[in-house]
């Protein structure tokens, strides 16, 4: 690869993409090193008191997810931290779930102003996503099906991949080819 820096990649999708399909799968096939971040790790890093809290994040029995003001404040700091690393020259891959659709993307766009970004939509048919959610065993049932379409509403992508019938490694190779 030439001296050209690969732009950050953002991969919004549901919470039940197959296997290691998030940032780890993509960074494994990129020719240059990058840092990978996912919203799941952000949620895991939240203080325990913010889980199942109106000010933090709550998971409804039907799979719905609600976030409060404290969650939004920490998420904004997380985004700014990731963007800071990109501005310092790091190649970044982010796996996020845009619960707010276009409004979620707008927050990232604002923070990423002046940085080249490849926006990748990772889709999966709701029924298939629901089956993967059950197989994972670590998600609230119904979450993937509820999110399968809403996370993409109004979101603009440079590239879309669909994991319904395509292996995650093949999707990662498509993304890597676009970044080359």
Residue 10 scores a pLDDT above 90:
no
In a domain, 44, yes or no: yes
3: in domain: no
Which structural domain, as residue segments, surrounds residue 117?
A: 27-177
Residue 22 inside a domain? The answer is no
pLDDT at residue 8, rounded to an integer? 54
Q: What does the mean pLDDT of the chain come to? A: 85
Residue 102 lies in a domain: yes
Say whether pLDDT at 7 is over 60.
no
pLDDT at 155 over 80: yes
CATH number (domain holding residue 68):
3.40.50.300
- Of the candidate ranges 94-98, 145-149, 160-164, 171-175, the one whose mean pLDDT is the lowest: 145-149
pLDDT of residue 149: 84
Active site residues: 40
- Structural domain includes residue 11: no
Quick one: pLDDT band at residue 21, thresholds 50, 70, 90?
very low
Model confidence pLDDT, tens digit, residues 90-145? 999 999 999 899 999 999 999 999 999 999 999 999 999 888 888 887 777 888 88
The predicted structure's pLDDT at residue 31: 84
Q: Over the stretch 38-91, which tens digit does the pLDDT of each residue have?
A: 999 999 999 999 988 899 999 988 888 999 999 999 999 999 999 999 999 999
- Residue 110 forms part of a structural domain: yes
User: Does 7 map to a domain?
Assistant: no
Nearest C-alpha neighbor of 13 from the set 152, 113, 117, 111: 152
Asked if the structure places residue 19 within a domain, the reply is: no
What total number of domains does the chain contain? 1
């Amino acid at each position: 690869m030439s001296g050209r820096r690969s732009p950050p990649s953002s991969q919004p999708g549901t919470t039940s993409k197959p296997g290691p399909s998030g940032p780890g799968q993509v960074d494994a096939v990129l020719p240059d090193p990058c840092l990978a971040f996912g919203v799941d790790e952000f949620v895991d890093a939240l203080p325990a008191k913010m889980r199942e809290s109106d000010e933090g994040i709550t998971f409804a029995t039907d799979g719905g997810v609600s976030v409060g003001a404290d969650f939004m404040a920490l998420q904004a700091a997380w985004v700014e931290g990731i963007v800071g690393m990109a501005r310092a020259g790091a190649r970044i891959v982010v796996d996020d779930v845009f619960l707010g659709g276009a409004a979620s993307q707008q927050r990232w766009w604002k923070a990423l102003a002046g940085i080249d970004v490849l926006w990748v939509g990772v889709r999966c048919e709701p029924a298939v996503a629901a089956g993967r959610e059950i197989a994972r065993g670590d998600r609230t049932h119904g979450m993937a099906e509820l999110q399968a379409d809403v996370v993409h509403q109004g979101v603009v992508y440079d590239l879309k991949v669909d994991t319904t019938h395509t292996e995650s490694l093949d999707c990662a190779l498509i993304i890597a080819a676009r970044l080359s």
